[in-house]
Structure 1
């Protein structure tokens, strides 16, 4: 699971960012100033930082410079200012991208995913949960040294749930992630694939299980 740090003195913006990105399967840690951000960067690994420019104690420009000196992670500067001079100063500080408030929720998600891809911080090729091992590049699932070759959509569904284990996803979210926005079927497709995965693994694997969260969706619990 990718971990994102969000630093902003506006608690409403922090709640918005955390809500949006948590739904996308990210872990989000929020802080209200640059000094807190640097402190937590020393104790936890992050894959990306979203930094507001106007913060008390340490502003976003200075925080970005410090991140650039010490950590190899992408930075998105978040600000209410849109003047070219502010953007220039932000890029000189070392930011990778710039987003002006108010922003469209989907734009933030697109920019986060684009930067993670650019930095090579997209989903890992291998996933391990107990005796479950998933090789995403080789499309192989191994459990207790036995290899299973699954149909593509079953493999993609299992991989996604395993990579974001213990998070709950609705059927519509899984359709979007696995089948795409232009999928013309209905959400029962998810139920069918979940049933097939359970039939394959429930009797042989105890390290994980795919749970139905009534009224919400599904979660792979480890």
Structure 2
């Protein structure tokens, strides 16, 4: 297992991967994930990488006491490619926000990704709810791209969200109402496609 992990590191050119997707459906415990992370810590002992992990598990493995401390999300076969991509994208986006020290600026609005707050030009907080902030920061992070309501629900709310897709419309409307007029104009709607954030020079 150690040699396999070292070979895996070599395949990444000596750089840690961004995410672990582990199939432990045929395992009786989480030892493969624990071992892989231990090897990574030994290789990058100066700055061990923070590795978000999605595990493919069987339903009975959800009862393992340690799994929730090791794995951040789960895929239970059979699952669709769309579901897998949505969970991976959501987890990557989450960690990009947590680990980033940068902010996103457009017009006179600043999104502080570390503090998860939006500020106007005077440095005053714009009263976005956590979900409104997540939706706005997601769209800002993908400038020039447009997403359907279904995609936004999966990527921002999560595939387990039981509400309807119209919740996206409600949140977009509330975000626009709270932002300064010119800043709100960056949020665009394309009929038949969905919502996006137009590019900023």
TM-score by length of 1: 0.47
SS of alignment partner, residue 138 of structure 2: helix
170, 174, 180: which is aligned to 2:158? 180
> Normalized per residue, which structure has more strand?
1
Q: Does 1:68 align with 2:42?
A: no
Equivalent runs, 1:23-34 vs 2, <5 Å: none
Give the superposition deviation at 1:67.
4.9
Is the Cα contact below 8 Å between 2:102 and 2:113 reproduced in 1?
yes
Equivalent runs, 1:120-199 vs 2, <5 Å: 122-123=96-97, 124=100, 126-130=102-106, 131-147=108-124, 148-199=126-177
Partners of 1:113 and 1:144 lie apart in 2 by 29
Partners of 2:19 and 2:133 lie apart in 1 by 32
Is the Cα contact below 8 Å between 1:139 and 1:149 reproduced in 2?
no
Deviations 1:12-53 (A, max 9, x none): xxxxxxxxxxxxxxxxxxxxxxxxxxxxxxxxxxxxxxxxxx
Is the Cα contact below 8 Å between 1:132 and 1:144 reproduced in 2?
yes
Give the superposition deviation at 1:68.
2.1
Give the superposition deviation at 1:75.
9.1
Distance 1:125 1:176, change over 3 A: farther
Is the Cα contact below 8 Å between 1:126 and 1:133 reproduced in 2?
no
SS of alignment partner, residue 141 of structure 1: strand
Distance 1:113 1:200, change over 3 A: closer
Give the superposition deviation at 1:217.
0.5
Give the superposition deviation at 1:158.
0.8
Q: Unaligned 5+ residue runs, structure 1?
A: 1-61, 77-90, 97-103
Partners of 1:186 and 1:75 lie apart in 2 by 29
Partners of 1:183 and 1:75 lie apart in 2 by 23
Is the Cα contact below 8 Å between 2:139 and 2:196 reproduced in 1?
yes
Q: Does 1:201 align with 2:175?
A: no
